[in-house]
Structure 1
Amino acid sequence: MRKPIIFMEEKMINVQDIVTLQMETVSRWHHEPIDNPYSDLEQAVCTQHQFNYQLWHQEDIARSRDVTDEKIAEVKRAIDGFNQNRNDWIEKVDDYITELVQSRSVKVQPDARLNTETPGSVIDRLSILSLRIYHMEEQLERSDVNQEHLDSVNHKIAICRLQQDELSNSLQELLDDIFAGRKRHRTYRQLKMYNDPSLNPYLYKKQVA
């Protein structure tokens, strides 16, 4: 098993460990059952990641034209559930980082600013990138496509890899700033309404009727 995420002397999280976890689990889960052998922050990251993994594959089914309407309805409900869990766990990852910041008594500088995205949201984007890269690379194994298709896929993979590198570098800088007190950290509550029968008009109006 890989070494756990290390909190170094600078009180920073190693983002490359997170990226490696996402890439390794995507590959493993395509051949073995979904697992989560991690602990602490890695465990939260992996849980959030697995909902993206399940969401990705349900969305593939939803776009198929050779399944019944009943199956599509079932898949759409599953998508709603996985998407709700995905967003819930973005918040839990951010909450975990809040606990780490507090446990290290980080002194936030008076002029520290908030970022437009939380670390949890960036980790979510990296999760999706790892899925996109894996499935793009699957395309290179096809024998029923021409060289033009392969060249196009290789170009897309290069773009995804660049985005993954740049996004992970930006996340590392953000986390370094948070743990040094140069930036503030806050969990942004997404407050999804569509799954809440008290907030979704279609659902609460049906209850009244």
Structure 2
Amino acid sequence: MSITDTAWEIFNQSINNYHVKDNVDEPVNNPFSSGTLERILYAKNWIDTVQWHLEDIIRDTNIEPIEALKIKRRIDASNQERTDMVEFLDSWFLQKYENITPNTDAKLNSETPAWAFDRFSILALKIYHMSLEAHRESASEEHRNNCSKKLNVLLEQKKDLSEAIKQLLDDIENGKIKMKSYKQMKMYNDESLNPILYQNVKNDQTKI
């Protein structure tokens, strides 16, 4: 089984496990051994799945403003966790390919393997939920037909993205592409980089 087939299977395992209780507060119960690629992939998709549903919740037009703010803060934290997990996954790939010497004419890819798998994970969620809509009995026939067409596009995208990831990994292994990973350096969660946050810290210290 290829690494993309394994990832797809694990992503869907995570999605199906989440929907047993369909609760954003349900703690992750990762079934894979510590240190394995499978465990990283499962954890990555669980973060994505919970955040998918938090994004649904915050769009409830009847949500109380205080609750919406709590959810927004939670989404911000989830985004940071998601980025950290992608960077952790890239470190796994960097270690895997550390003994590969790139060819002298090796090229750089615009995204790392981990960010490609990030897209793959989100795509698994899109397909799962679009499939639900394509078969939702309470929806109109027109709605189901429209969603079925969108589902077909997503399934084609899954096939193409899977092949693209395989090609990327093969090219790295064969020295055709050199792998480099950059930290995302997100600024909005950092008290020393977000001007709103460091002004608040400064003001708080002034009050002391």
| Normalised TM-score (structure 1) | 0.89
- RMSD, aligned CA: 1.4
* Alignment partner, residue 71 of structure 1: 67
Contact preservation (8 Å) 2:47, 2:78: yes
Give, in whole Å, the separation in 2 of the partners of 1:165 and 1:130: 11
The ranges of structure 1 where at least 4 consecutive aligned residues each deviate by more than 4 angstroms after the TM superposition are none
Q: What is the letter of the counterpart of residue 95 of structure 1?
A: S
Give, in whole Å, the separation in 1 of the partners of 2:118 and 2:7: 11
Which of 119, 123, 127 matches 1:133?
127
Which of 117, 121, 125 matches 2:115?
121
Tell me how far 1:208 sits from its aligned partner: 1.4
Instruction: Using the aligned pairs only, state the percent identity.
Output: 33
Which of 177, 200, 207 matches 1:206?
200
Tell me how far 1:49 sits from its aligned partner: 1.4
Aligned pairs, number: 196
Which of 173, 176, 181 matches 1:179?
173
Residues 48-127 of structure 1 correspond to what in structure 2 (within 5 A)? Answer: 48-102=44-98, 105-127=99-121
Tell me how far 1:153 sits from its aligned partner: 0.4
Contact preservation (8 Å) 1:52, 1:128: yes
Which of 153, 173, 181 matches 2:147?
153
1:18 paired to 2:12: no
Contact preservation (8 Å) 1:94, 1:186: no
Tell me how far 1:144 sits from its aligned partner: 2.3
Give, in whole Å, the separation in 1 of the partners of 2:81 and 2:173: 27
Determine which structure has greater relative contact order: mean sequence separation of CA pairs < 8 Å that are 6+ residues apart, divided by chain length: 1
Residues 7-46 of structure 1 correspond to what in structure 2 (within 5 A)? Answer: 14-31=3-20, 34-39=28-33, 40-46=36-42
Unaligned residue ranges in structure 1 (runs of 5+): 1-5, 7-12
**Deviations for 1:161-191, whole angstroms, at most 9, x for unmatched residues?**
1111101100000001111211111112100
